[in-house]
């Protein structure tokens, strides 16, 4: 009887000592086994590469992949864009009012503008929907007052999300150290202008023997900025300042200084923080 079965070809891979001709490793396999082993090795290799790239810092080495600095820069740019949009809107309103005044027309009032925007936001809603939203709002307010809760505290912008104006463009001569030097020193040419880093109110402005001419500004969210060793102060206690407004002239006053520089401190909720984390000097 003739055997019609397909003949299976086996292979043998031998590793033999060249001097003694003694077999060290002998492996037998077929075409199917070799193909399965090769595919398995490729799959395992790809899986290992994927795990390394997905779950280790190696992925930051890929060109174009955003690292922590890029993400932080993107957040800061988004905050700057939002601030610029607000500033542009203010200037547009200012220029519109100037045009109206020059033409003898009534200027646009801010409260009426807000009311118009609110009216625009309500357009397209039926009376039933407006009443439903009003009922939900009243219920939320009642619950907050019942348990003495307020969401206003939760709406405060944390320090990480705020946009700080650089108080002085220069070189950091001594960096922040939480135990020894909880502030930064910035060197700059003489007569350089010192600017407020945020909107706020001047709470101290005067002279001390160690720090020279010093000014302190209280900002929102329990933030205080301090500027020391100034040549001249441009603001007094009680003055309202805006971010980027000149407040002093850099100098070399006081006993604890060796040259023209700005001693800058940033305090958040009673603790000194590293200004370089939030400001690009």
Query: What pLDDT shows up at residue 250?
Result: 95
Q: How far is CA 196 from the centre of its chain?
A: 20
d(CA 38, CA 41): 5
182, 258 in Cβ contact below 8 A? no
| Ranges of the chain whose pLDDT falls below 70 | 1-8, 60, 64-71, 108-135, 137-157
In Å, how far are 3, 30, 36, 182, 226 from 7, measured between CA atoms?
10, 11, 19, 82, 90
Question: Using H for helix, E for strand and C for coil, what is the string for the chain?
Answer: CCCCCCCCCEEEEEEECCCCCCEEEEEEEEHHHHHHHHHHHHHHHHHHHHHHHHHCHHHHHCCCCCCHHHHHHHHHHHHHHHHHHHHHHHHHHHHHHHHHHHCCCCCCCHHHHHHHHHHHHHCCCCHHHHHHHHHHHHHHHHHHHHCCCCCCHHHCCCHHHCCCCCCCCCEEEECCECCCECCEEEECCCCCEEECCCCEEEEEEEEECCCEEEEEEEECCCEEEEEEEEEEECCCCCCEECCCCEEEEEECCCCCCCCCEEEEEEEECCEEECHHHCCCC
Query: What pLDDT shows up at residue 66?
Result: 64
184, 176 in Cβ contact below 8 A? yes
Query: What pLDDT shows up at residue 64?
Result: 64
Query: What pLDDT shows up at residue 233?
Result: 96
In sequence order, what are the residues at sequence separation of 6 or more whose Cβ sits closer than 8 angstroms to the Cβ of residue 10? 28, 29, 30
Identify the CA nearest to 53 among candidates 71, 65, 42. 65
Query: What pLDDT shows up at residue 261?
Result: 94
pLDDT tens for each residue of 149-195: 444 444 455 787 788 999 998 899 999 998 888 999 999 988 899 99
225, 266 in Cβ contact below 8 A? yes
Identify the CA nearest to 262 among candidates 272, 273, 254, 271. 254
Query: What pLDDT shows up at residue 49?
Result: 87
CB burial of residue 213 (10 Å; 0-12, 13-18, 19+): buried
């Amino acid at each position: 009887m003739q055997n019609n079965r397909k003949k299976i070809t086996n292979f043998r891979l031998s590793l033999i000592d060249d001097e003694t001709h003694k077999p060290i490793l002998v492996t037998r396999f077929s075409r199917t086994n070799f193909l399965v082993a090769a595919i398995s090795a490729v799959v395992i290799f790809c899986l290992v590469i994927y795990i390394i790239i997905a779950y280790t810092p190696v992925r930051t080495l890929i060109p174009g992949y955003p690292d922590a600095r890029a993400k932080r820069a993107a957040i800061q740019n988004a905050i700057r864009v939002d601030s610029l949009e607000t500033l542009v809107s203010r200037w547009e309103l200012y220029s519109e009012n100037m045009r109206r005044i020059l033409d003898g027309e009534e200027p646009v009032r801010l409260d009426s503008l807000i009311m118009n925007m609110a009216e625009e936001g309500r357009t397209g809603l039926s009376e039933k929907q407006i009443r439903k939203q009003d009922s939900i709002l009243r219920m939320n307010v009642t619950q907050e007052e019942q348990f003495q809760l307020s969401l206003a505290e939760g709406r405060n912008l944390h320090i990480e999300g705020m946009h700080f104006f650089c108080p002085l463009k220069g070189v950091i001569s001594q960096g922040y150290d939480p135990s020894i030097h909880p502030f930064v020193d910035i060197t700059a040419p003489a007569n350089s202008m010192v600017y407020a880093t945020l909107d706020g109110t001047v709470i101290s402005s005067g002279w001390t023997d160690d720090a020279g001419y010093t000014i302190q500004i209280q900002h929102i969210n329990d933030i205080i900025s301090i500027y020391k060793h100034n040549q001249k102060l441009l603001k007094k206690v009680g003055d309202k300042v805006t971010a980027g407004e000149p407040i002093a002239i850099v100098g070399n006053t006081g006993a604890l200084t060796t040259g023209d520089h700005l001693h800058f401190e940033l305090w958040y909720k009673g603790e000194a923080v590293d200004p370089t984390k939030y400001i690009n000097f």
